[in-house]
Amino acid sequence: KAGEASAAPVAYFLLIRHGGSTLLGYIGIDTIIEQMRKKTMKTGFDFNIMVVGHSGLGKSTLVNTLFKSQVSRKSTGWARDEKIPKTIEIKSVSHVIEEGGVKMKLTVVDTPGFGDQINNDNCWEPISKFINEQYEKFLKEEVNITRKKRIPDTRVHCCLYFISPTGHSLRQLDIEFMKRLSHSVNIIPVIAKADTLTVEERQEFKQRVRKELEMSGIEFYPQKEFDEDMEDKSDNDKIREAMPFAVVGSDKEYQVNGKRVLGRKTAWGIVEVENPNHCEFAQLRDFLIRSHLQDLKEVTHNIHYETYRAKRLNENGGLHPIPSSDTQESNL
């Protein structure tokens, strides 16, 4: 009967809506994951990483090692006789890298000149300004009357801060930089050139750095306050306890026990970059790329950018929409 036939779908809908997880048959909700995967593979995604630390700490080499390709600024036309700049410069280089059919536009932001001067007062200001300028670009695109389907994202998703392996304590500059920028960008501190320390020295230095960061009120990524649930907290607690990662970078391969490995050759043997017994590079890579890359992007958008956006809108009583003809393409 017509009346009975039309009642069945309604009853089914009510069962799903009010009956919790009990379904009468397969719907296909689980295919959303595959739909998202296909879309991401088509469009790709952006990831912007900044490296900060004084010269000679192997910043460019580590980034090349992380992504197993020549992606750093010094790998693309940098001259070996380049002088240390008298002021801090911000230089970006972008590459599209592809793995397993997934494309990623990777932008590496370098900060030559940081910490290399006799007087390093306020040397974080150009970096802070650059980070905020990227938020401003994104905000202006958002308030356009005619918005792009996909807003170019040049916001810094992650800042790798390189700590000199002194074995003693953090410099005042290290503390000041992280304290001033930790609320506007995801800071991940790493101990550079860890092969210059013994295992015991490395552990003692890591503990000392963690204690100094805690005493200075500096929260590095992943911040405790952003843990979403107990599973997140448990996973992130293990990471926080292991940080800062003591790392070694190298883009050179050597033969070890019949296998080709990335490493650094020393007088007493090969330091294997991806060997967890030699350094913590593999932990950093897994954390940065394999488990937390998407979260870095989300924290940047939902926390750091939203904080900047709210502040700007409060300052101006709301930004006025910009006509589409005035919109400028990002050059990064």
- Provide φ and ψ at 70, rounded to 5°: -85, 85
Task: Give the mean model confidence (pLDDT) for residues 141-146.
Answer: 87
Q: Of 148 and 292, which is predicted with more confidence?
A: 292
Residue 213 has pLDDT above 90, yes or no: yes
Q: Kind and range of the H or E element at 130?
A: helix 125-142
Task: Give the mean model confidence (pLDDT) for residues 233-244.
Answer: 95
Q: CA 168, CA 171: separation in Å to the nearest integer? A: 9
- Calculate what percentage of the chain has a pLDDT beyond 90: 63
**What's the pLDDT score for residue 108?**
96
Q: Of 167 and 243, which is predicted with more confidence?
A: 243
Task: Give the mean model confidence (pLDDT) for residues 56-74.
Answer: 88
The amino acid present at 246, given as its one-letter code, is A
Q: CA 302, CA 294: separation in Å to the nearest integer? A: 12
- Provide φ and ψ at 202, rounded to 5°: -65, -45
Convert the pLDDT of each residue in 177-201 to its tens digit.
Answer: 999 999 999 999 999 999 999 999 9
Enter the tokens of residue 284. Answer: 């950093």
Beta-bridged to residue 191, according to DSSP, are 163, 246
Q: Which pTM was predicted?
A: 0.84
Enter the tokens of residue 29. Answer: 């909700």
Residue 11 has pLDDT above 90, yes or no: no
The pLDDT mean for the chain works out to 86
| Residue 279 · residue 273 · CB < 8 Å | yes
**What's the pLDDT score for residue 84?**
60
Residue 8 has pLDDT above 70, yes or no: no
Convert the pLDDT of each residue in 73-99 to its tens digit.
Answer: 665 444 555 566 656 789 999 999 999
**What's the pLDDT score for residue 61?**
93
Residue 325 has pLDDT above 80, yes or no: no
| Residue 173 · residue 123 · CB < 8 Å | yes
DSSP-derived 3-state class of residue 316: helix
Does a cis peptide bond (omega within 30 degrees of 0) precede residue 222? yes
Q: Are strands 187-191 and 245-246 parallel, antiparallel or unpaired?
A: parallel
Domains of the chain by start residue, with CATH = 48-74+85-315 (3.40.50.300)
- What is the three-state SS of 32-72? HHHHHHHHHHHHCEEEEEEEECCCCCCHHHHHHHHHCCCCC
| Residue 282 · residue 270 · CB < 8 Å | no
Task: Give the mean model confidence (pLDDT) for residues 235-259.
Answer: 93
Task: Give the mean model confidence (pLDDT) for residues 261-280.
Answer: 91
Maximum pairwise Cα distance, the chain: 90
Convert the pLDDT of each residue in 12-58 to its tens digit.
Answer: 444 444 456 677 889 899 899 999 888 888 888 999 999 999 999 99
Q: Which of 10-24, 57-71, 97-111 has the lowest mean pLDDT?
A: 10-24
- Cβ burial of 182 (10 Å; 0-12, 13-18, 19+) is buried
Residue 241 has pLDDT above 90, yes or no: yes
Q: Of 308 and 6, which is predicted with more confidence?
A: 308
Q: CA 170, CA 174: separation in Å to the nearest integer? A: 6
**What's the pLDDT score for residue 14?**
43
**What's the pLDDT score for residue 303?**
96
pLDDT band at 233 (very low <50, low <70, confident <90, very high): very high
**What's the pLDDT score for residue 4?**
47
Residue 252 has pLDDT above 80, yes or no: yes
**What's the pLDDT score for residue 3?**
46
